[in-house]
Structure 1
Amino acid sequence: MYDLTKFQRDILYVIAGQDEPHGLAVQDELEEYYENEIHHGRLYPNLDEVVDKGLVEKGKVDRRTNSYTITARGQRELEARREWENQYVDDLLSSSE
């Protein structure tokens, strides 16, 4: 996970949170989060990158539409990331009480 960009990491979170989303569904979620248009030239190469890294699996809906699912490895990476984040957030919350 350390070698992913934050955009790629966000792609993983979006895919993990949906049931086999297609590229445009991932794009819509990211555009809502970033409050900016996400161009295909940015989205699809990054989707391909997380697929190539074995974190996401790409399936076919039809000739023009792909679906994406998080792999077991991708899920483990997200869980490890969450644990790492929580150690700092928990410390922050504990110190503010």
Structure 2
Amino acid sequence: MHDLTGFQRDLLYVIAGLEEPHGLAIKDELEDYYESEVNHGRLYPNLDTLVEKGLIEKGELDRRTNFYTLTRRGERELDARQDWEAQYVTV
């Protein structure tokens, strides 16, 4: 997880929090959080990178729409990240 950008980590968190989200649902969630537009040229290449790294899987809803889910590795990486953060941040 140390080799991911902050944006890629945010993608993992959003995908973990939604049930099989499609690209536009992920985009909407991030735009709400960032309070600015997330363009397709940023979103989809980063999703593809996460697929290549084995952190998420891409499925097909229909010929035009893909959905994304965390892999077991992605879940383990998020858990490890949360444990690491918890060492330094207590709320």
Normalised by the length of structure 2, the TM-score is 0.98
Quote the residue 2:88 is aligned against: 88
| Matching residue's letter, 2:21 | P
d(CA) in 2 for partners of 1:52 and 1:9? 15
d(CA) in 2 for partners of 1:33 and 1:75? 21
Considering only aligned residues, what root-mean-square deviation do their CA atoms show, in Å?
Answer: 0.7
Quote the residue 2:71 is aligned against: 71
| Matching residue's letter, 2:47 | L
Equivalences for 1:1-97 in 2 at 5 Å? 1-90=1-90
Alignment gaps of 5+ in structure 2: none
Q: How many residues in Structure 1 have an aligned counterpart in Structure 2?
A: 91
Normalised by the length of structure 1, the TM-score is 0.92
TM-superposed CA distance for 1:80, in Å, is 0.2
| Matching residue's letter, 2:46 | N
**Structure 1 consecutive aligned stretches of length 4 or more whose deviation exceeds 4 Å:** none
Structure whose CA Rg is larger:
1
d(CA) in 2 for partners of 1:52 and 1:65? 19
